[in-house]
Amino acid sequence: MNLLQTLRQHGQSVWLDGLERNLILTGQLERSIDNGLRGVISNFTSLERAIRERSYDCDFRATVRQPNINAQWIYEYLTVQDMQLTADLMKAVHNRTHAGDGFVNLDLPPQVALDPQATLTEARRLWQTVGWSNLMLKIPATSATVSVIEQLIHQGININVTSLFSQAVYEQVAEAYLRGLEVLAKQGKEVSTIASVASFSVSRLDEAITALITTHLEAEQERGLPEPFRGDVAICATQQRFAIAQAKVMYQRYQTIYQSDRWQALARLGAQPQRLLWDITNIRNARFHAQYYIKSLVGAGTVLALSPLILQEQDHYSPTHASLTVGVDAAYQTLENLEQIISLEMITPQLLSEELQRSQAAYQQLLRTIAQKRQSKQSF
């Protein structure tokens, strides 16, 4: 039994984060779907790398005869094709799970993340352009977009709310989803076909907390710190637990929300919970490893986002139990210890800002690579 099948037995879906054309053309994506893959996520970095590696050269040759197009136009041309091809492959999963899985996820241009009207306009446009009901649009959880998420949900558009770091922001996102569904229900419209996930950046949070603790220790030279943080040995032993602890606490809140009377009224109409998605695709610190995260984040009704490399490396790994419900009291204690020197709620704006900057930089690098590729094809 492979990893995808094992996690399905625990009620968890795996989505592949890193779509590019060769996965489709070589049949690798279709084989992964047959093996249990339940969703696909695109990102700027994977697309940029694939373009550099010539995966899209045929598309670029086709654009040479169109002189009045720019890099942004080509980017959308490529991604819309990828989304449509992948949505077609995932449609059987989408139908079989009654719109619970089988989604393809597309980023909005990062420059609209702080502008609610631009986010709303761009989301509607891309939803209509791709034209598949199993499309899910990625929108970061900024203060400007929470109200937009509610509007898009009650307009029937599936949303992946990304870049979550704190429980307070998660509460806002969950509330926006519920309100959006309630508007639909009051209008007598179908709610069972709408889906959303709230994506928690697990590996990013661990990376950030580790850096902050290290800086704090160096500055304070370990004087006056709480016992759990004294010494390098203690840090090595505990640093991987913070984001996992946060995930366990958020999962507890998720279960509370979707067991409430308010939710049950929507569930009777066929509404689906907004699932938590655990994003571990960006593991940079050598002390963190994919298998640790996978075994620590197993939980029914959630989604695990894996890069193609992690999925390949961990294909035969089989977690033995649903770990998100284990050690919850210890998770609360871990976060209480952390709060003595670092407030997760206080650092969330900084983490979100860094994530938006990272996304903007990746997008701009993608556009530069597209422009360079187009120019090189025009020279033939």
Residue pair 206/239 in contact by the 8 Å Cβ criterion = yes
DSSP 52-97: HTTTTHHHHHHHTT-TT--HHHHHHHHHHHHHHHHHHHHHHHHHHT
Give the C-alpha separation, 183 to 180, whole Å: 5
Q: Kindly report the backbone phi and psi dihedral angles of residue 103, in degrees, each rounded to the nearest multiple of 5, phi listed first.
A: -100, 150
103-107 and 159-164 beta bridge pairing: unpaired
Q: Calculate the CA 225 to chain-centre distance.
A: 34
Across the strands, what pairs with 137?
106, 159
Q: Which of 152, 191, 193 is nearest to 173 (CA)?
A: 152
Across the strands, what pairs with 103?
39
Describe the crossing of helices 344-378 and 71-96 by its angle, rounded to 10 degrees: 120
Give the C-alpha separation, 152 to 367, whole Å: 27
Q: Kindly report the backbone phi and psi dihedral angles of residue 352, in degrees, each rounded to the nearest multiple of 5, phi listed first.
A: -65, -45
Amino acid in position 224: G
Q: Is 186 a catalytic residue?
A: no
Tokens of 117: 């009207």
Tokens of 332: 């609360």
Residues in the chain: 380
Q: Which residues contact 10 (CB under 8 A, 6 or more apart)?
A: 298, 299, 300, 319, 321, 322
DSSP 217-242: HHHHTTTT--GGG-HHHHHHHHTTHH
CA angle in degrees (0–180, nearest 5) for 14-209-222: 150
Tokens of 193: 């076909």
Active site members: 138
